Every structure is written in structure tokens, then in C-alpha cells.
């Protein structure tokens, strides 16, 4: 292969590499698959949320110097949230591509592009997993860093709202169980106020899910119905009961589950602007004041042509603008 100068080709420009990583397939992630979080790009690195009591709303962006959004009635606070910078770094040494040989109709350029694309996909998988982790944190009310300890954002603390927790006895039968589930649904509806939803979903830790699927009342209820398969053999899908779609959430990193085994989080679905993810522009000169994309990739030649440094990044912020409407269930033992 000629030399590392191949990376000066337009195929390795910021725009080309960024387009490639955004076109790459997503790593499967439950919240992304559900479309629970509404995604959009922003031109700044902060998101503003207007707070009035327990009611929160996005603040519309405007031109500098232009009149602001009219706010009437009781005093309201505007909270500012910074997006989170997630960088991924790799170094592709010249030795890694020195002895590559093109096969079939591939050129040397196409072969090197394949090497870069594989590294980009690895970056993207890790970024996707992190964004999923942050979204679960937004549902729970506390967004944690990769170590699972450092708090990046505590929504309830910032909004000054206490999280509502309900203890649920999943060994109860008949009316007792239905009554408990009805109380949960009503708690969600009360917190939403005039806002409407398309349904209610519970993301369950493994113990609370196990207690649900072995409940004798549910087993008898679904025995001859289409949901019977969820209660036998391999019960890892979802079931609908009492106006809630219950599902076992399996997301985890290593051995650490994103949701505690003895808890579940009940969320309303289809509420406009409730769950949002905003993507800020990359920290590149070329991206300043442009609409943020989910992913960016850039490259820089190492000194003396020893290789190339590949940097991928995402700058997301995932928020729940109605945290009072998420109910935390605790399994009664």
C-alpha cells in the first residue's frame, strides 16, 4: 500500500466520516426500539426547561436580540441543562494497514475504509449503550456516569420534586391485585393532569417480573388467551394487565442491571415532549452553530505519518420533563 496519505482523501473528511457513522445500523436497545424518547438536534450545548410547580415545558429557541417567549401568570423558573460529551478514541497504526491486500474489486482505499468502518461501529455500539443507559437514568430520575456511581444529573433534585414510590404485593390475587394496579395507573394519570397518553408501560427488574409471571391469578386469567406464552416456558416478553403493559427490562453493562431487580418504573407513553433526547453539535469548528447530529467522527494524522487517530463522539442530553408522572414500584416481600 502506498502511504498513510490515503487518509487525506475526501472519504476521510469530517463530513464523510460523520455521515458514515450516522448511517451505520443502531445497536439494538429497548428504549430506542420503542421510540419512547423523541430525538432532535440543537444548535447549542444547553437545553432549557421551564418549570411551574410540577409542570415542565421546553423553552423555544429564538434569534439573539429578538423578543422572548411570553410567560404569564405565576412566576416560573427556567432550568438550564448541559448536554453530556461522550468521546470515543481509537488509534489506527500504519502497521495495521501496511500489509492489507485488496480482494475482488476492492481498491486499497475501499479496504482502508473497511478498517475505519469497523472501528466506527465499535465506537457507535458503545455510544448507543451509553445513550440507552442515560435514558434509563432519565426515567429513574438520576443519570449516572459509566462507573454507575458518579451522578451526572439528578432530575428530582433539579426540579424540586419528590419521586413517588408505591409498594406493590404481587402475590395478591383477584380484586386485591387489580386494586393495586389501578392505584398505580391513577397515580400516573393524576401526575399528568390535563396531558393525555396513549398507554402505560412498566419496565421491570428481574425479581418484580418473576413475581408477576408466577402469580396464580394472572396464570388463570391468561391460561387460554394469547398471552399465555408469556407465562410459560420462556417468559421474557411482555404482558398486559390492569391497563399497564409489563415487561422485563434486560439492559445491563457487565453484571450491573440498569434497573434494580426489586423495582419497576411505570411510565406514560405517547405524551408529547415528555421524554426527549437532544443532540448538541460536536466540538469541531466545522460544527459550530449547526444542528446537532447523534454521532460525529473525525480523524487526524499522527506525527511523522505513524498512523491516524479516530475520534467519535455524541453529545446527548436525555430528559424526562414530567418526572412526577413516573412511578417507582417497589416489590413487597
- In this structure, the answer to whether residues 296 and 260 fall within a common structural domain is no
Report if residue 281 sits inside a domain.
Answer: yes
CATH of the domain at 177: 3.30.1930
Residue 283 sits in the same domain as residue 225: no
CB-based contacts of 297: which residues, under 8 Å, 6+ apart? 14, 17, 18, 20, 21, 120, 123, 310, 311, 312, 313
Count how many Cα atoms sit within 13 Å of the Cα of residue 304 in the half-sphere of its side chain. Answer: 2
pLDDT attached to residue 227: 56
User: According to the model, what pLDDT value does residue 9 have?
Assistant: 54
Q: Output the pLDDT for position 247.
A: 92
Q: Give residues with Cβ within 8 angstroms of 134, minimum separation 6.
A: 84, 143, 152, 316, 318
Q: Domain span at residue 224? A: 163-273+323-331
Give the per-residue pLDDT at 105: 46
pLDDT score recorded for residue 77: 76
Place of cell 465506537: 123
Q: What is the pLDDT of residues 187-216, one digit of tens each?
A: 999 999 888 899 999 999 999 998 988 887
Q: What is the pLDDT of residue 72?
A: 47
* Residue 236 shares a structural domain with residue 181: yes
- For residues 23 and 123, membership in a common domain is answered with yes
Asked if residue 157 belongs to a domain, the reply is no
Q: Is residue 67 part of a domain?
A: no
Do the domain assignments include residue 37? yes
So what's the pLDDT on residue 12?
58
Q: Which residues of the chain, if any, have pLDDT below 50? A: 1-2, 62-66, 69, 71-73, 75, 104-105, 233, 235
What total number of domains does the chain contain? 2
Identify the residue whose cell numbers are 394487565.
241
Residue 292 lies in a domain: yes
Distance, CA of 67 to CA of 230 (rounded, Å): 55
State whether 239 and 300 are in the same domain.
no
| Residues 267 and 280 placed together within one structural domain of the fold | no
Q: Are residues 49 and 125 in the same domain?
A: yes
pLDDT of residue 329: 97
Cα gap 128→26, rounded to integer Å = 7
Is residue 70 included in any domain, yes or no?
Answer: no
Of 319, 295, 259, which Cα lies nearest the Cα of 134? 319
Same-domain pairing of 176 and 240 = yes
Q: Which residues of 61-78 are buried (b: 16+ CB within 10 A; e: fewer)?
A: eeeeeeeeeeeeeeeeee
Domain assignment present for residue 158? The answer is no
Cell triple for 102? 485488496
Neighbouring CB atoms inside 10 A of 155's CB total: 24
- 256 and 281 part of one domain: no
Q: What is the dihedral of CA 285, 289, 293, 299, to 10 degrees?
A: 0
In terms of domains, do 133 and 12 share one? yes
* pLDDT for residue 209: 92
The pLDDT value recorded for residue 289 is 84
Cell numbers representing residue 283 in the block: 466540538
The reply to whether 269 and 280 lie within a common domain is no
200/85 same-domain check: no
First to last CA, the chain: 66
Residue 68 in domain: no
- pTM value is 0.82
- CA–CA gap between residue 164 and residue 92 (Å, rounded): 49
Amino acid at each position: 500500500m502506498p502511504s498513510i496519505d490515503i487518509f487525506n482523501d475526501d472519504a476521510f473528511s469530517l463530513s464523510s466520516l460523520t455521515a458514515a457513522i450516522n448511517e451505520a445500523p443502531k445497536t439494538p436497545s429497548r428504549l430506542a426500539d420503542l421510540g419512547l424518547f423523541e430525538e432532535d438536534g440543537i444548535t447549542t450545548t444547553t437545553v432549557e426547561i421551564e418549570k411551574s410547580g410540577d409542570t415542565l415545558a421546553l423553552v423555544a429557541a429564538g434569534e439573539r436580540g429578538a423578543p422572548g417567549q411570553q410567560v404569564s401568570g405565576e412566576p416560573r423558573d427556567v432550568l438550564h441543562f448541559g448536554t453530556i460529551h461522550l468521546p470515543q478514541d481509537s488509534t489506527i497504526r500504519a502497521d495495521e494497514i501496511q500489509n492489507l491486500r485488496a480482494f475482488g474489486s476492492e481498491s486499497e482505499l475501499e479496504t482502508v475504509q473497511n478498517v475505519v468502518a469497523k472501528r466506527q461501529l465499535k465506537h457507535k455500539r458503545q455510544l448507543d449503550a451509553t445513550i440507552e443507559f442515560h435514558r434509563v437514568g432519565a426515567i429513574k430520575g438520576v443519570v449516572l456516569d459509566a462507573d454507575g456511581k458518579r451522578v451526572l444529573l439528578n432530575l428530582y433534585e433539579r426540579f424540586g420534586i419528590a419521586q413517588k414510590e408505591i409498594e406493590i404485593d404481587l402475590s395478591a390475587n383477584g380484586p386485591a391485585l387489580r386494586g393495586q394496579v389501578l392505584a398505580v395507573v391513577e397515580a400516573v394519570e393524576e401526575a399528568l393532569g390535563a396531558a393525555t397518553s396513549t398507554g402505560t408501560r412498566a419496565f421491570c427488574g428481574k425479581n418484580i417480573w418473576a413475581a408477576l409471571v408466577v402469580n396464580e391469578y394472572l396464570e388463570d386469567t391468561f391460561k387460554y388467551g394469547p398471552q399465555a406464552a408469556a407465562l410459560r416456558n420462556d417468559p421474557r416478553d411482555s404482558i398486559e394487565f390492569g391497563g399497564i403493559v409489563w415487561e422485563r427490562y434486560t439492559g445491563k453493562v457487565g453484571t450491573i442491571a440498569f434497573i434494580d431487580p426489586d423495582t419497576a418504573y411505570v411510565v406514560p407513553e405517547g405524551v408529547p415532549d415528555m421524554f426527549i433526547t437532544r443532540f448538541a453539535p460536536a466540538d469541531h469548528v466545522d460544527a459550530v452553530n449547526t444542528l446537532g447530529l447523534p454521532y460525529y467522527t473525525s480523524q487526524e494524522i499522527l506525527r511523522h505519518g505513524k498512523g491516524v487517530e479516530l475520534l467519535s463522539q455524541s453529545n446527548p442530553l436525555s430528559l424526562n420533563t414530567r418526572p412526577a408522572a413516573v412511578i417507582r414500584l417497589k416489590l413487597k416481600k
